[in-house]
Amino acid sequence: METDASVPSGLAAPQRVLLIIAGGIAAYKALELIRRLRERDIAVRCVLTAAGAEFVTPLSVAALSGERVYRDLFSLTEESEMGHIRLSREADLVVVAPATADLMAKLANGHADDLASTALLATDKPVLLAPAMNVEMWRHPATQRNLARLKDDGVRVIGPESGDLACGEVGAGRMAEPHDIAAAVGFLLAGGEPLLAGRHALVTSGPTREAVDPVRFISNRSSGKQGHAIAAALARFGATTTLVAGPTALGDPPGVRTVHVESAQEMAAACEAAMPADIAVCAAAVADWQLRAVAARKIKKRGAAPAFDLVETPDILATVSRPGPRRPRLVVGFAAETGDLIAEATAKRRRKGCDWILANDVAATPIFGADTTTVHLITATGAEAWPRMSKIALAERLARRIAAALAPAAAPSPA
């Protein structure tokens, strides 16, 4: 790679991504992806296909990236310097978002008839695809053959997610969310080693809902953002990841098997079914109490408030941490506290029998539903303060710490 003359001597040049924006309604998400990458100090050059330009404008792409947008393979100015070669070689990573069925087919079969496909064939850098298309197009045997060939060729793929599609149908085909793609880009630029390959990770996330009657329930403020980010990070590190998710507004993380539950009883059963696992991260905010008997009909307001007979819900963290042949090698819990954070989290770690606790002071700083967080990592050797960071960055940091703890050279017990 050529030296960037704009970078002062002695300073490292910023990492650079070549982002190819293909046609499809999901192209609008590419604008958010550019912003997310720029927040990470990653320089972004963009190739906009003719179809992509039907959905987003070159002006908006240029304004967000801060660089010119490349569109034409046969521009004399660009091709006098072999522009498609330089574009692909000067990047550290090539990202295609959205990756259409057509562009995937071109790359899988070696076709190059426009700037995007030519740059993809000319690159000697890693390639990350974020597919987006109709569910039947995604399921089609030709698309799946092309996908298998691309993976065999070493191309990385994130998504697609399942859900409501722009065409009105429901199923797999939604492009992964920009923050997930940006996290995958950061992971690949940092080396992208599958440090947890061959491991099975179990993650719980979100709140639980404990029914009172057919209308009401007991729950809490958890959004699931942290648990979902951790599941996605562990999957990026190569772990086969099962996410047991309470009711949230979040989509399923890419590359993760997600089991949806409502109550603590359902979450406990799903965790038991997902065992054995090498890693368990219990990030869910499980309700502490449930009604001994749920009312079959809506409870009416008739003067005096009803008296509820409450019993404790299953203690999932303590159950997963229980010694035995099915206990994961590393169990991580969470503690949302409002008092003496370190003392209460340390006591919880001992009481539950887990190896690590990530503790939040939820009285000092808004945590639930926020995109950033501050935690202390509590282990058998003490407390370690982590700086305020995004929940995605925390997930990445935790995944690296887990990988280090489970590395062959690590001590047998991370506690």
Domain positions in the chain are 16-189, 200-406
Instruction: Give the mean model confidence (pLDDT) for residues 390-406.
Output: 91
The segment with the largest mean pLDDT, out of 163-167, 318-322, 333-337, is 318-322
Q: Are 93 and 133 in contact (CB under 8 A)?
A: no
% residues pLDDT > 70 (the chain): 90
In this predicted structure, the answer to whether residue 410 has a pLDDT above a threshold of 70 is no
What is the mean predicted confidence (pLDDT) over 81-97? Answer: 80
State the pLDDT at residue 1. 29
Would you say residue 32 has pLDDT above 90? Answer: yes
58: its two tokens: 């070159």
Residue 138's pLDDT band (cuts 50, 70, 90): very high
**107 vs 168, residue with greater confidence:** 107
How confident is the prediction for the chain on average, in pLDDT?
87
CA distance 367 to 207: 14
List the CATH code of the domain at 16-189.
Answer: 3.40.50.1950
Is 282 a catalytic site residue?
no
Mean pLDDT within 123-131: 93
For the chain, percent of residues with pLDDT exceeding 90? 64
Provide the CATH topology of domain 200-406.
Rossmann fold (3.40.50)
The answer, yes or no, to whether residue 167 has pLDDT greater than 70, is no
Are 16-189 and 200-406 in the same CATH fold? yes
Question: Is the predicted pLDDT of residue 235 greater than 80, yes or no?
Answer: yes
SS (H, E, C) the chain: CCCCCCCCCCCCCCCEEEEEECCCCCHHHHHHHHHHHHHCCCEEEEEECCCHHHCCCHHHHHHHHCCCEECCCCCHHHHCCCHHHHHHHCCCEEEEEEECHHHHHHHHHCCCCCHHHHHHHHCCCCEEEEECCCHHHHHCHHHHHHHHHHHHCCCEECCCEEEECCCCCEEEEECCCHHHHHHHHHHHHCCCCCCCCCCEEEEEECECCEECCCCCEECCCCCCHHHHHHHHHHHHCCCEEEEEECCCCCCCCCCCEEEECCCHHHHHHHHHHHCCCCEEEECCECCCEEECCCCCCCCCCCCCCCCCCEEECCCHHHHHHCCCCCCCCEEEEEEEECCCHHHHHHHHHHHHCCCEEEEEECCCCCCCCCCEECCEEEECCEEEECCCEEHHHHHHHHHHHHHHHHCCCCCCCCC
Using 50, 70 and 90 to split pLDDT, how confident is the model at 321?
very high
The confidence score (pLDDT) of residue 196 equals: 93
Catalytic residue among 167, 271, 282, 354: 167
Mean pLDDT value of segment 194-203: 93
